[in-house]
Chain A
């Protein structure tokens, strides 16, 4: 659907051939074009500039509503690692979201391959289902999972809530359908002929998947892994009920800055802003590096947690 057209828009040649051509395809008069660009950029930039400036400010300065810090300091960036344990949170996020990314991409490749290359009863229904579960609210998934995990202690004698692997399992509930859908749209574009040739040579399904499909679909696998990772990194709802102070993710650690008050009555505003930047930076960097591949996935929707 939309993936291919969007990709095209990003790969289209950027330069027009001459000024006459530019004049023909012009959509907005220069004046309006400049106004639109300035307004949109200002709208985007205001909070971004603010968070950078505030991360260099004192808690009091941020609380008083200063834009330009009255005293500049990089201290916040040093303190965030010791006061709340943001480092631990980021490490937890990397472990859980990273393994969710790798596992979903691997499972998604195999599952999507079956959906694309085999005909079986209920196939289209299951594919519709994949789209539907992507839109099932997280609150609906987190509740039964929480109840089952909480009772695992009394029924089976194991503790799941508060463990990283428990959180990892819950992340699969939203990363798997998304990754599978990304792979379905990717594999549809691959030619069948190589696989058919391999099959004539007597290769098994597994061999074909590993030796033919996997090497051809690396970009798709990377995209589905990166998206699964980002979905996990951005998650708030599962982490807020499934973790404790030891296993909290970066998203939860960031909230703790706002509710922690040191030597007085103010939350740690300055550090909270510095930590916000630290939490957003890897995501934005990852996105800008792989932009060309990721834009197509963005348009299929589910990036926002």
Chain B
């Protein structure tokens, strides 16, 4: 049991502390091999990241991308949960199918959509045949919307799963009561069912937003490096600064700065989760 804790510290805590130390070093491809003797830079990397790099722009791209993707997934997830809550023949199959986008590896999802969004690819041609002339999807300003769209495709079942869990907590009596009152379907949803979904869906939104902000594989595979300016999310910017420009110190500073964006959803998430046996027991 002690070895378990030691391994955990070795592979998680140590790298984080080292990263923090590296963020105050002038660390590049010349000093990499002897990084322990790399010159000390103080807060220089952080100052450069904020004032003289696309960090702030990436900050907004990540934030808006994450919030938009979550917002678009919510109605989809709730609608899918409502539709599969009650029994119908084939419901079990449907529920499995709904999870496929979520369990498909991100790198496969991104590869397939990248092929579909090619210039002259199936999407551009399809839109053309119905009279819409679209520009490039993998470059230029449209790339941002491509990223949001694919992210929604890959992640909405997460909202669906937690919405389904919320629906399950609605007692049969509640259904009976609203049937007795003669509520038609929309008022019933709006005033009776949705309040039950608020908690689980809110939690789902927080976790989903965290995952969107951290998603590296999807934009990386979808657009490649260097990514178009409009999809340079924080992980992509950090990656290209570190492994394309070899500015390791600056990259580390960027990585730690981007924690600021994660902090708010993360605090909400950690507080919402039951940590203890005793807390969990009275559920």
Given contacts A65-B124, A137-B216, A114 and B1 within 8 Å (CB-CB): yes
Q: Which of A36-44, A73-81, A194-202, A216-224 interfaces with chain B?
A: A36-44
The residues of A that contact B153 with a CB separation of less than 8 Å are 43-44, 47
**Do A143 and B122 have beta carbons less than 8 Å apart?**
no
Known: A124-B275, A139-B238, A233-B105. A176 touches B164 (CB 8 A): no
**Cβ-defined contact, B113 with A15, below 8 A:** no
- Contact yes or no, B107 A254, CB < 8 A: yes
Do the beta carbons of B248 and A143 come within 8 Å of each other? yes
| Residue contact B176 to A24, C-beta cutoff 8 Å | yes
When distances are taken between beta carbons in the complex, the residues of chain B under 8 Å from A135 are 210, 214, 262, 266, 269
Within the complex, the shortest CB–CB distance from A50 to chain B, in Å, comes to: 6
* Docked complex Cα distance between A40 and B232 (Å): 29
Q: Looking at the complex, which one of A124, A209, A251 makes contact with B276 (CB distance below 8 Å)?
A: A124
Main secondary structure on B side of the interface with A = helix
A2-B165, A33-B83 in contact; A63/B243 too (CB < 8 A)?
Answer: no
> Chain A's nearest CB lies how many Å from the CB of B68?
17
Question: Are A140 and B16 in contact, with the CB atoms below 8 A?
Answer: yes
B273, A1: Cβ atoms under 8 Å? Answer: yes
**Are B114's CB and A258's CB within 8 A?**
yes
User: With A50-B122, A141-B15 in contact, is A154–B33 under 8 Å at CB?
Assistant: yes
The contact string, 1 if C-beta is below 8 Å from chain A, for chain B 227-265, is 000000011001100110000100110011011001000
* Interface-central residue, B36, B107, B168, B234, by most chain A CB under 10 Å: B107
Residues of A within 8 A of B189 (CB): 27
Interface string of B133-173 (1 = CB under 8 A from A): 00000000000000000000111001001101111110010
A218 to B109, CA, bound (A): 32
B242: nearest chain-A partner, CB-CB: A143
Assess the A4–B283 pair: CB atoms within 8 A: yes
* CB–CB B165/A5 < 8 A: yes
Taking A139-B242, A150-B32, A298-B158 as contacts, is the C-beta distance between A283 and B1 under 8 angstroms?
no
> What 0/1 pattern do residues 92 to 126 of A give for CB contact below 8 A with B?
00000000000000011011011010000000100
Q: Residue A143 contacts which of B19, B168, B234 (CB distance < 8 angstroms)?
A: B19
Among candidates B33, B162, B216, residue contacting A236 with C-beta atoms closer than 8 Å: B216
In the complex, A137→B97 CA distance in Å? 29
Contact yes or no, B162 A299, CB < 8 A: yes
Known: A26-B185, A27-B185, A131-B269. A2 touches B18 (CB 8 A): no
B11–A137 contact, CB under 8 A? no
The residue on B at minimum CB distance from A148 is B18
Asked if A180 CB lies within 8 Å of chain B CBs, one says: yes
A66 CB contacts on chain B under 8 angstroms: 122
Annotate B49-77 by CB proximity to A: 1 below 8 A, 0 otherwise. Answer: 00000000000000000000000000010
User: How close is A294's CB to chain B, nearest CB, in angstroms?
Assistant: 8
Q: Mark B174-209, 1 if CB is under 8 A from A, else 0.
A: 011001000001001100010000001001000100
- Whether B120 contacts A63 by the Cβ 8 Å rule is yes
Contact B273 A131, beta carbon cutoff 8 Å: yes
Q: Known contacts A139-B242, A143-B22: does B12 contact A28 (CB below 8 Å)?
A: no
Q: A131-B270, A299-B161 are in contact. Are A27 and B1 (CB under 8 A)?
A: no
Given the complex of chains A and B, what is the CA–CA distance between A67 and B235 in angstroms?
34
What are the residues of chain A within 8 A of B7 when measuring CB–CB? 107, 172, 176
Using A188-B280, A305-B217 as known contacts, say yes or no to A54 and B12 having CB atoms under 8 A apart: no
Q: List 7 A-B contacts (CB under 8 A).
A: A65-B122, A67-B126, A139-B258, A144-B15, A147-B32, A288-B96, A295-B99
Residues of A that sit less than 8 Å from B by CB: 1-2, 4-6, 8-9, 12, 14-16, 22-29, 32-33, 36-37, 40-41, 43-44, 47-48, 50-51, 54, 62-67, 107-108, 110-111, 113-114, 116, 124, 127-128, 131-133, 135-141, 143-148, 150-151, 153-155, 169, 172-173, 176-177, 180, 188, 205, 209, 230, 233-237, 240-241, 251, 254-255, 258, 269, 272-273, 276, 279-280, 283-284, 287-288, 291, 295, 298-299, 301-305
Knowing that A140-B238, A234-B217 touch, tell me 14 more A-B residue pairs with CB under 8 angstroms: A5-B165, A24-B175, A24-B176, A25-B86, A36-B80, A44-B153, A137-B214, A139-B235, A141-B12, A141-B15, A279-B107, A287-B99, A298-B158, A301-B207
